[in-house]
């Protein structure tokens, strides 16, 4: 830690090895920013109607986003999509 502080003071870049490895493993995120917003709302247990109210969308639009998220992640359920997206570092 002390060495990292000294490096920063010298103007050198400091990289957390765990963070760098996670970033390299994550790959490209197929989920759009808006889909990530919807998926984050799903992690709270919110219904499509509640997500729609929170994000100023219609419930049908939220369901469309959820369908696309499931297709993009290859998940069979919202829970599996959340797990995959979190494991990949997308949300």
**How many angstroms separate the first and last alpha carbons of the chain?**
28
How far is residue 15 from each of residues 4, 9, 22, 23, measured CA to CA in Å?
Answer: 9, 14, 12, 11
Residue 74 has pLDDT above 70, yes or no: yes
Residue 85 has pLDDT above 80, yes or no: yes
User: What per-residue confidence (pLDDT) applies to 71?
Assistant: 94
**Between these two residues, 90 and 23, which has the higher pLDDT value?**
90
> For the whole prediction, is pTM greater than 0.95?
no
pLDDT tens figures, 14-69:
877 776 776 666 668 889 999 999 999 999 999 999 999 999 999 999 999 999 99
User: What per-residue confidence (pLDDT) applies to 25?
Assistant: 67
Domains of the chain with CATH codes: 2-88 (1.10.10.10)
User: What per-residue confidence (pLDDT) applies to 29?
Assistant: 85
């Amino acid at each position: 830690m002390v060495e990292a502080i000294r490096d920063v003071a010298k103007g050198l870049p400091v990289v957390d090895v765990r963070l760098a490895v996670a970033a390299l493993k994550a790959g490209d995120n197929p989920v759009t920013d808006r889909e990530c917003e919807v998926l984050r709302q799903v992690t709270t247990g919110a219904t499509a109607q509640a997500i729609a109210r929170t994000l100023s969308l219609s419930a049908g639009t939220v369901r469309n986003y959820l369908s696309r998220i499931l297709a993009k992640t290859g998940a069979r359920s919202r829970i599996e999509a959340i797990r995959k997206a979190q494991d990949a570092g997308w949300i």
